């Protein structure tokens, strides 16, 4: 083994009941190197890293640190070997300051002055931007992530594991993080990143290790590979995103949102004079930092969010009538003949009933159309079987409760059901969040097929590369306001990222003209 290998795994196996999460996995990462771990959902990436971090213990196999075999039975053991893991979901106390969170759990005597000085020293060394005395609840997502990283560095970690570190960051925040990680690599630290964004893997890492169905496929040098080869290693076959960007032949304004404003229960404005148009035969993307009002906007259109002012006009292609959907319930919207399908962000909270099987979840869309007191189960069962077959849903049977399915399969069931309703407007909020590339491409191609069929598709996404490749127009929301609308064919990530971080005050001082111009030109 090379002398500079920081950590090496040999034949690691981990099972949970009858499920084998990892089988004879062997890989290593050197000091002064960034290793990316790639794989589909369920391929065992996080499980493997959790064994290095002491959260799980392997059933068999060995872990070596600097060439010596070690036993890591707890996170405390991991810290003793200078291993730190930054999880996707932050583990911070909101009412504590950055410094208080960083030293929380340490056995040493707490000295706020010395601790703050050490935090500043670490920040200056690697280029972090953080106020040690700032409360967590006052921080942005990127600041919270910075606290998590400094927390493990404060404890002396020189082997760092980051789980999906860019999932909720803007492109500008991502570039800052990458600059910091490169400085840490140059300082001799070994860094492992779990991610599904191939373009980030290629721009940041030195080597890429691929897992498939719990097994180690291989490690390749980043400089000697590309997205196509990595995708084939992950999935075992070629997959492609067949997106057409032709102008619709006879576009129609299907949904016109005019100047809507919504307030939450505390009286705070969550949507502030939002206006846009969704057209038939196009995909309108919505981008924005998490919590900027994307979810509330779709819920307002679907009749799930009260609107304080403005209107939502639906132009019915069948009756040629225009209906205002404002303050209508979902049932009232359906009674108007509006064919609106909504794939919510919370798939098991709002989209499907976890304890019900796939057939019953199909029936949620159709049971009111029954003409007798008895429910007809054959049509929804046929639909369930069709969705399972066409979308390759992995399930023991149509009678399996959806809560027992993986996230990707749950999402396929939900999207399949909504598309089967033959909508004229299809709204999808983060439909591929947490899904692997194969499942994601399936969803993207389904949305594109709906576009080809003349459906007005509204797509809320967090991956700007996908938004640019998939969408005809992209509307950006910041703090509940529309900060710009750009053409998906010509937009850049940097342009969208700037619009995402644009302040509401800028819009009021002149940005509104840009929004109107962008909407008109796009």
Show the tokens assigned to 45: 């990436």
Helical axes 112-126 vs 141-154, angle rounded to 10°: 110
Show the tokens assigned to 498: 């700037």
Ordered DSSP codes for 72-132: --SHHHHHHTTEEEE-SS----TTSBHHHHHHTT-SSPP-HHHHHHHHHHHHHHHT----T
Q: Are residues 181 and 308 in the same domain?
A: no
Of 205, 202, 203, 213, the C-alpha closest to 235 is 213
Of 215, 256, 205, the C-alpha closest to 236 is 215
Lateral strand order in the sheet of 269-279: 269-279, 253-263, 309-315, 322-324
Considering the domain boundaries, does residue 244 fall inside one? no
Considering the domain boundaries, does residue 95 fall inside one? yes
The answer to whether the beta carbons of residues 284 and 472 sit under 8 Å apart is: yes
- The span from the CA of 484 to the CA of 290, in Å, is 17
For the CA atoms of the chain, what is the radius of gyration?
25
Q: Are residues 412 and 428 in the same domain?
A: no
- What is the three-state SS of 358-414? HHHHHHCCCHHHCCCCCCCCHHHHHHHHHHHHHCCCCCCCCCCEHHHCCHHHHHHHH
Neighbours of 180 (CB within 10 A): 17
- pTM equals 0.68
Instruction: Using alpha carbons, list the distances in angstroms from residue 159 to 30, 62, 80.
Output: 9, 17, 11
The answer to whether the beta carbons of residues 446 and 417 sit under 8 Å apart is: no
Q: Which residue has the tokens 């969170």?
A: 101
What's the pLDDT at 134? Answer: 92
Q: Which 3 state secondary structure label does DSSP give 449?
A: helix
Considering the domain boundaries, does residue 272 fall inside one? yes
Considering the domain boundaries, does residue 246 fall inside one? no
Q: Are residues 270 and 375 in the same domain?
A: no
Mark residue 213 as left, alpha or beta (left: phi above 0; alpha: psi -120 to 50; beta: remaining). Answer: left
Backbone φ and ψ for 108, nearest 5 degrees, come out as -70, 160
Q: Are residues 215 and 92 in the same domain?
A: yes
Considering the domain boundaries, does residue 345 fall inside one? no
Q: Are residues 406 and 453 in the same domain?
A: no
Show the tokens assigned to 421: 């309703």
Show the tokens assigned to 202: 């290629």
Q: Are residues 209 and 263 in the same domain?
A: no
What's the pLDDT at 342? Answer: 84
Q: Which 3 state secondary structure label does DSSP give 44?
A: coil
Environment class of 18 (CB within 10 Å of its CB; exposed 0-12, middle 13-18, buried 19+): exposed
The answer to whether the beta carbons of residues 231 and 208 sit under 8 Å apart is: no
- The span from the CA of 307 to the CA of 273, in Å, is 11
Q: Are residues 294 and 179 in the same domain?
A: no
Among 368, 400, 421, the domain-final residue is 421
Q: Are residues 226 and 90 in the same domain?
A: yes
Over residues 100-152, the pLDDT tens digits come to 999 988 877 778 889 999 999 999 999 888 899 999 988 888 889 899 999 99
What's the pLDDT at 62? Answer: 95
What's the pLDDT at 434? Answer: 63
Considering the domain boundaries, does residue 116 fall inside one? yes
Neighbours of 367 (CB within 10 A): 13
Considering the domain boundaries, does residue 242 fall inside one? no
CATH number of the domain that residue 21 is part of: 3.40.50.300
Instruction: Using alpha carbons, list the distances in angstroms from residue 326 to 271, 323, 406.
Output: 14, 9, 36
- The span from the CA of 82 to the CA of 62, in Å, is 18
Q: Which 3 state secondary structure label does DSSP give 16?
A: strand
- The span from the CA of 515 to the CA of 498, in Å, is 14
Neighbours of 73 (CB within 10 A): 10
**Residue pLDDT tens, the chain, 522 long:** 445 689 999 999 999 887 788 999 999 999 999 999 988 777 888 889 999 999 999 999 999 999 999 999 999 999 999 999 998 778 899 999 999 999 988 877 778 889 999 999 999 999 888 899 999 988 888 889 899 999 999 999 999 999 888 876 777 788 889 999 999 999 999 999 988 778 888 999 999 999 988 899 999 999 999 888 888 888 877 766 666 666 766 788 999 999 999 988 778 888 999 999 999 999 999 998 877 888 889 989 988 889 999 999 999 888 888 999 998 888 888 888 788 888 887 777 788 888 899 999 888 876 655 554 456 678 889 989 998 888 878 788 888 898 888 767 888 888 888 888 888 999 988 888 767 777 788 888 888 889 988 999 999 988 888 899 899 999 999 888 999 999 988 999 889 988 987 744 444 444 444 443 344 334
Considering the domain boundaries, does residue 25 fall inside one? yes
- Residues with Cβ within 8 Å of 373's Cβ and at least 6 positions away in sequence, in order, are none
Q: Are residues 142 and 189 in the same domain?
A: yes
Q: Are residues 216 and 79 in the same domain?
A: yes
What's the pLDDT at 465? Answer: 83
Q: How many domains does the chain have?
A: 3
Q: Are residues 117 and 68 in the same domain?
A: yes
Neighbours of 218 (CB within 10 A): 11
Q: Which 3 state secondary structure label does DSSP give 481?
A: strand
Of 513, 498, 484, the C-alpha closest to 173 is 498
- The span from the CA of 349 to the CA of 326, in Å, is 24
- For residue 110, what is the DSSP state? P
Among 364, 386, 421, the domain-final residue is 421
Instruction: Using alpha carbons, list the distances in angstroms from residue 440 to 113, 433, 469.
Output: 48, 8, 13
Q: Which residue has the tokens 């306001």?
A: 481
What's the pLDDT at 240? Answer: 65
What's the pLDDT at 4? Answer: 64
Residue 313 structural domain? 253-339+422-521
Q: Which residue has the tokens 């967090």?
A: 462
Q: Are residues 395 and 408 in the same domain?
A: yes
Among 421, 436, 466, the domain-final residue is 421
């Amino acid at each position: 083994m090379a002398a500079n290998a920081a950590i090496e795994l040999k034949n690691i196996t981990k099972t949970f009941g009858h499920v084998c999460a990892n089988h004879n996995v062997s890989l290593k990462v050197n000091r002064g190197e960034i290793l990316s771990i790639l794989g589909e959902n369920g391929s065992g990436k996080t499980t493997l890293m959790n064994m290095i971090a002491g959260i799980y213990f392997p059933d068999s196999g060995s872990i070596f640190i600097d060439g010596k075999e070690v036993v890591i039975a707890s996170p405390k053991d991991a810290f003793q070997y200078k291993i730190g893991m930054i999880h996707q979901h932050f583990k911070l106390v909101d009412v504590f300051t950055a410094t208080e969170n960083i030293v929380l759990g340490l056995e040493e005597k707490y000295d706020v002055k010395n601790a703050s000085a050490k935090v500043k020293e670490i920040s200056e060394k690697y280029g972090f931007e953080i106020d040690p005395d700032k409360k967590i609840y006052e921080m942005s997502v990127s600041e919270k992530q910075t606290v998590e990283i400094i927390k493990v560095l404060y404890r002396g970690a020189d082997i760092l594991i980051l789980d999906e570190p860019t999932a909720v960051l803007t492109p500008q925040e991502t570039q800052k993080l990458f600059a910091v990680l490169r400085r840490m690599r140059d300082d001799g630290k070994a860094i492992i990143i779990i991610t599904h964004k191939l373009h980030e893997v290629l721009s940041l890492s030195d080597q890429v290790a691929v897992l498939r169905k719990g097994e180690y496929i291989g490690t390749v040098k980043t400089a000697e590979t590309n997205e196509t080869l990595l995708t084939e290693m992950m999935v075992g076959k070629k997959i492609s995103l067949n997106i057409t960007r032709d102008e619709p032949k006879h576009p129609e304004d299907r949904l016109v949102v005019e100047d809507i404003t919504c307030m939450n229960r505390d009286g705070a404005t969550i949507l502030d004079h939002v206006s846009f148009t969704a057209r038939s035969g196009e995909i309108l993307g919505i981008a924005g930092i998490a919590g900027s009002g994307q979810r509330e906007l779709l819920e307002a259109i679907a009749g799930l969010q009260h609107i304080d002012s403005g209107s939502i006009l639906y132009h019915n292609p069948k009756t040629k009538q225009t209906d205002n959907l404002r303050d209508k319930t979902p049932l009232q919207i359906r009674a108007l003949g509006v064919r609106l399908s909504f794939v919510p962000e919370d798939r098991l909270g709002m989209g499907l009933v976890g304890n019900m099987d796939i057939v019953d979840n199909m029936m949620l869309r159709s049971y009111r159309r029954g003409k007798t007191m008895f429910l007809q189960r054959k049509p929804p069962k046929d639909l369930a079987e069709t969705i399972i077959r066409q979308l390759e849903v992995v399930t023991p049977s149509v009678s399996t409760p959806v809560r027992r399915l993986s996230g990707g399969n749950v999402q396929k069931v939900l999207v399949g059901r909504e598309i089967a309703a033959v909508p004229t407007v299809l709204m999808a909020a983060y439909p591929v969040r947490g899904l692997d590339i194969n499942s994601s491409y399936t969803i993207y191609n389904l949305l594109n097929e709906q576009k080809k069929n003349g459906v007005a598709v509204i797509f809320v996404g967090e991956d700007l590369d996908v938004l640019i490749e998939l969408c005809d127009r992209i509307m950006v929301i910041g703090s509940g306001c529309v900060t710009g609308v750009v053409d998906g064919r010509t937009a850049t990530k940097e342009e969208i990222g700037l619009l995402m971080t644009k302040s509401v005050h800028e819009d009021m001082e002149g940005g509104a003209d840009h929004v109107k111009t962008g909407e008109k030109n796009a």
